[in-house]
A and B are shown apart, each in its own frame.
Chain A
Amino acid sequence: MSTINLIIDGQTIEVEKGMTILDAAKKINVNIPTLCHHEDLCVAGNCRVCVVEVKGKDRLEASCATPAENGMEIFTNTAKVRNARKDIVSLLISEHNTQCTTCYRNTNCELQNLAAEYNVDGNKYLSVLKPNIKVDKSSWSIEKDDSKCIRCQRCVRTCAELQHVNALTAANKGHEMKISTFMDLPFNEVVCTNCGQCVNRCPTGALTERRYFNDVWDAIGDPTKHVVMNTAPSVRVALGEMFDYEIGTRVTGKMVTAMRKMGVDSVLDTDFAADLTIIEEGNELLTRLKAVLVDSNKEVKLPMITSCSPGWVKFIEHMFPNHLGHLSTCKSPQQMFGALTKTYYAQKKGIDPKNIVSVAIMPCAAKKYEANRPEMNSSGYRDIDAGLTTREFGLMIKQAGLNFKNLEDSKFDSIMGESTGAAVIFGATGGVMEAALRTAYAVVTGRSVPFENLNITAVRGTDGIRAASVKIEGCLPDWKFLEGANLNVAVAHGLKNARIIMDEIAAEKSPYHFIEVMGCPGGCIGGGGQPIPTNAEIRAKRTKAIYEEDMSKPIRMSHENPEIIKIYDEFLVKPLGHKSHELLHTHYRKRNRY
């Protein structure tokens, strides 16, 4: 890689050729403000707050969009630069709904931060905020408030580049320009997968998750209700960020205590249902393999693809409606958990399921939509009554007046609170695959997977698509048909990569038997409901914490979870049995592209 030299604020530095002025400045600890820039996304250069002065040029340059050049002399802190930035922030404020105190993103808003830094006079310019902007609350997952939109198009780029969904786009021009959906339809009528990646990247409060925490407080305050809360694997490695912990800190114990102190009746773990998913899904995979390889059953589809990520599920329903047969019929851990809460749990605890309120704390915006899918009521009651994001949950802890950092650690309640390391890694891309392989290999061969410490590193990592092949040898008698076979698996995260996987399947060129797809980049640790900001570095730290949590668990294979063994003994009878099909499996529906 060739390098170049340039001078920034009097300091000479050497940087790689092609690096932007913005990144070059970062290297010498010069912070340049940005709004439209996000390191996950392509350069836009449209907000213009990152302008800097380049010697010899009258016009300022957008540092995020301008490559550093050899011999360039840059000034980031001149009166001209400061005045221009202040003017630009003032202009943004002039078209903005500045009711900051009542905004969900208050104190975590990039525009607000800049307005404060530059001490912007809100009355310098006349208000050009469009009157009568209606907040789109049509979606179960996402709210869109154009009065808070700064047109940075991060959401548009997220939806197009990272997710290949294109539910959002820039529409109209000039003063009418806005971020819109196809034909300006409400969010619930377009291809939106509810992944919430746009929400996570929105610098302001224009895109937010639909909040349900007030409903949860109502339930907690209602003495006739029994509130059961369960938390997804990735929440415990990200929640700390809302309480000034270093990124990647595991706060499992404090999180459990916080829920209990909030007044939740039973504090349980979605991880339990993740272990259960592995049993059901693992058996489904083996059944499908037998049907295809031994019985030549043309009705049964391979590769089988995981179905835990509701953003992904809605994506395939919209984009590949003729290939729904590849999806595992397993409900996601959230929904399995909910269905069992209203049945198994209710029976064991002797509580009328109509009085149980099941609440899921998720890293996800799409989980809200999933909870509201009409078919998710197999017990006769809603599987899940409310799905909250990590962010909403953090807010509830604050509202409850809890000093989170000083809380003592405690353990999940029982039943349905026990889990293994295999369940925790559901939170990172590749985790479901690894957990499934740990169990499936053990079921088929009676031995542990041939990887050191059970760590199947081939399916870990950050590459968008990762493939691996596991040779199956020494099968137990029931599984002799798999003897010597190579099980080809793949992992994809981010819907852009899911599309590549699906294009292969649609072209009948997919070499795989089993595929894990997570809708969000990095998997759930990078979910749309996680603390803001989320970027590659933060995702890496949360992922590291997930694998540490796995290693810290005494049991690391789902089928060895004693509560799982017990639930089959006491209630479900056997994997893919009658009860399982009734409560733990689901079906999908074809949707349009628009």
Chain B
Amino acid sequence: MANNKLNKADIIFSPYSVEPYEILKNTMQKDKTFVVNELIESGLKGRGGAGFLTGLKWKFFAAENNEEKYVICNADEGEPGTFKDRKLLVEVPRKVISGMAIAAWIGNAKHGIIYLRAEYKYLIPELKKELAIFDEYSKKFGLTFSIEIFNGAGAYVCGEETALIESMEGKRGEPRNKPPFPIQNGFLGKPTLVNNVETFASATMVCRYGSTEYKTYGTKDQRGSKLFSISGDSPKEGVHELELGMKISDFVNEFGDGDTKAVQIGGVAGFCIPRKEFETSIIGEGNTTGGATMLFNSTRSMYNVIHNYLDFFAEESCGQCTPCRVGTQQLLKGIEAVKSGEKPDTYLDELIKLSKTMKITSKCGLGQSVTNSFASIVKNFREEMLY
């Protein structure tokens, strides 16, 4: 059940009042199994968008018996409309690094890598300073774990964990077949834990507050707080930390400009919620989100919006699998053809069907999620698509 109101949280960006890496130090004095169970109990889910139970993932990672294991922090942050990971890395890097270190401690991993989005190259000098400080503390704590930075090359698909790994191995950024999953067979064929920047920071906070307190935030399905990158027609653009489970209407009242006609939740790979559903839709339920939230007011053409998204997908598909490579082109050309009158209105229904085929047949989340925004925009704003 949702709490039906907008609660602003202050967990992740709460002041770091303690000594550096004190949470890490305290956590390492506990039992590993206890910590994993705490994470599972907290209900924390991956903050990249897919929403897998973080504690469970760490448990699987810990169960892998291998001398060489990797903890990777996915800071590719390529989803259009998201910029919260950058803020985390700039403002609370120690919470992120602590999360990685706790994961490494639980999973007996020695190597950590921050996969940094190409455009965030400028963050490297500051991050390196932080990592040097971390090295001192980890030595003090008797933790054999060091973290490197890998700068990506700019492909959207490399935010997908297996494409990210391929890219780190010097190959084309193309998603792999799953199974095997990175937990068993990841970077260089070794067990690899990949989590989003915010997931690591949140895990640190679970360790700090304990599951009981953490669970008091959010709803049954979505525990804790979540960072939202808010953009578009909003007077309050920026990163906001909110409890999960708010109604869209509450959200719009807080962040909209009074004329909001649609909210895009979860970036271009997410859903577009029209005004008529603001009262009934709840963020975080049935629309797992990475937190990229765009507001559109009545001056915006939703045709232009979806055209823009499709343009992006057709370019950022890695191109290896048929439904995604060709499907994205067909959707783009298709709405253009309907708009120009070359194809009848009913062609939109064909295109929605095609987007559903893409959802069930594409190799990775990119092609699978195109239908989210496509179907929701074309269905809800059909009149804007027509000739």
Contacts and interface: CB of A to CB of B under 8 A. Distances in A.
**Secondary structure type dominating chain A contacts:** loop
A84 B359 CA distance: 10
A576 interface: no
A368 B325 CA distance: 36
Given A84-B357, A92-B322, A173 B155 contact: yes
A371 to B, nearest CB: 36
B319 A151 contact: yes
Contacts of B173: 173
B177 A65 contact: yes
Interface residues on A, range: 35 or more
B363 A88 contact: no
B286 to A, nearest CB: 14
- The winner among B325, B334, B359 for most chain A CB atoms within 10 A is B325
A88 B322 CA distance: 7
Contacts of B357: 83-84, 87-88
A170 interface: yes
B330 A48 contact: no
A46 B320 contact: yes
B260 interface: no
Interface residues of B, number: 38
A80 B353 CA distance: 12
B281 interface: no
Contact of A48 (B318, B323, B354): B323
A126 B320 contact: no
**Secondary structure type dominating chain B contacts:** helix
- The winner among A60, A88, A170, A172 for most chain B CB atoms within 10 A is A88
A80 B328 CA distance: 20
Contacts of A44: 320
A43 interface: yes
Nearest to A127: B333
A174 interface: yes
B167 to A, nearest CB: 12
Given A60-B360, A84-B361, A91 B328 contact: no
Contacts of A88: 322-323, 357, 361
B327 interface: yes
Given A87-B354, A174-B317, A151 B325 contact: yes
Given A48-B361, A128-B333, A170 B320 contact: yes
A94 B314 CA distance: 15
Contacts of B363: 45-46, 48, 62
A44 B363 CA distance: 10
Given A48-B361, A62-B177, A126-B337, A95 B329 contact: yes
Contact of A172 (B319, B327, B330): B319
B362 interface: yes
A47 B368 contact: no
B56 interface: no
Interface in A245-266: none
A173 B327 contact: no
Interface in B338-369: 343, 350, 353-354, 357, 359-363, 368
B318 A126 contact: no
A253 B333 CA distance: 57
Contact of A128 (B330, B343, B360): B330
Interface in B234-252: none
A176 interface: yes
Contacts of B359: 59
A174 B320 contact: no
Contacts of A66: 177, 179
Contacts of A177: 317-320, 325
A46 B321 contact: yes
B334 A174 contact: no
A429 B172 CA distance: 34
Interface string A168-187: 00101111110000000000
A94 B350 contact: no
A150 to B, nearest CB: 8
A260 to B, nearest CB: 47
Contacts of B325: 151, 174-175, 177
B362 A94 contact: no
- The winner among B179, B319, B333, B353 for most chain A CB atoms within 10 A is B319
Contacts of B361: 48, 51, 59-60, 84, 87-88
Contacts of B343: 126
Interface string B137-159: 00000000000000000010100
Contacts of B320: 44, 46, 151, 153, 170, 177
Contacts of B155: 173
B321 A128 contact: no
B316 interface: yes
A151 B174 CA distance: 13
B92 interface: no
B160 to A, nearest CB: 13
A91 B323 contact: yes
Contacts of A51: 360-361
Contacts of A174: 313-319, 325, 328
Contacts of A125: 330, 334, 354
A66 B181 CA distance: 12
A295 interface: no
A46 B334 contact: no
B51 to A, nearest CB: 15
Given A59-B359, A60-B360, A94-B330, A48 B319 contact: no
B116 to A, nearest CB: 20
A67 interface: yes
Nearest to A170: B172
Contacts of A92: 322, 326
Contacts of A95: 326, 329
A173 B319 contact: yes
- The winner among A59, A88, A150, A173 for most chain B CB atoms within 10 A is A173
A87 B318 CA distance: 20
Given A60-B361, A170-B172, A91 B326 contact: yes
B322 A46 contact: yes
Contacts of A151: 319-320, 322, 325
A293 B313 CA distance: 66
- The winner among B155, B173, B320 for most chain A CB atoms within 10 A is B320
A478 interface: no
Interface in B281-334: 313-323, 325-330, 333-334
Contacts of B318: 173-174, 177
A58 interface: yes
A76 to B, nearest CB: 14
Interface in A51-68: 51, 58-60, 62, 65-67
A128 B329 contact: yes
Interface in A169-211: 170, 172-177
A257 B198 CA distance: 75
A91 B319 CA distance: 13
A175 B322 contact: no
Contacts of A60: 360-361
A45 B364 CA distance: 11
Contacts of A124: 350
27 contacts: A48-B321, A48-B362, A59-B359, A59-B360, A65-B177, A66-B179, A67-B179, A84-B357, A88-B322, A91-B330, A126-B333, A126-B343, A150-B322, A151-B322, A170-B172, A170-B320, A172-B319, A173-B157, A173-B315, A173-B319, A174-B313, A174-B316, A174-B325, A174-B328, A175-B317, A177-B318, A177-B320
Interface of B: 155, 157, 172-174, 177, 179, 313-323, 325-330, 333-334, 337, 343, 350, 353-354, 357, 359-363, 368
Given A47-B321, A175-B314, A175-B329, 4 more contacts: A95-B329, A173-B317, A174-B319, A176-B319
Closest 8 CB pairs of A and B: A177-B319, A91-B326, A65-B177, A87-B357, A174-B315, A46-B320, A45-B177, A174-B317
